[in-house]
Copies of this chain bind each other. A is one copy, B any other.
Amino acid sequence: ENAKQLQTQKDELTKKLEETDVRNKELEEQLADLEQRLESSQVDQENLRKNLKTLLEILDGKIFELTELRDNLAKLIEDS
């Protein structure tokens, strides 16, 4: 009688463990997927950041050159 009951409980536990293992595997897959997406997003962001820095340096150059042009115009007005 007791043995039968124990067998039933053991079967239920085995089934539950299997389900939990399946869920576990799913979670690990989701986690790996998310980690990859986060990493990919960080790589993209780092690339954007690098490209923006390059643009910033070019913009600095353009502002410098416009300031030179401005100084030359001021000198022409001064001398005219």
Contact = CB atoms under 8 A, between A and B. Distances in A.
What is the total number of copies of this protein in its complex?
Answer: 4
Interface residues of A, number: 49
A5 B48 CA distance: 63
A7 B5 CA distance: 10
Given A38-B37, A63-B63, A63-B67, A73 B49 contact: no
A53 B31 contact: no
B74 A56 contact: yes
A45 B9 contact: no
Given A37-B38, A59-B69, 8 more contacts: A6-B6, A6-B7, A23-B24, A44-B80, A52-B77, A55-B76, A59-B66, A63-B63
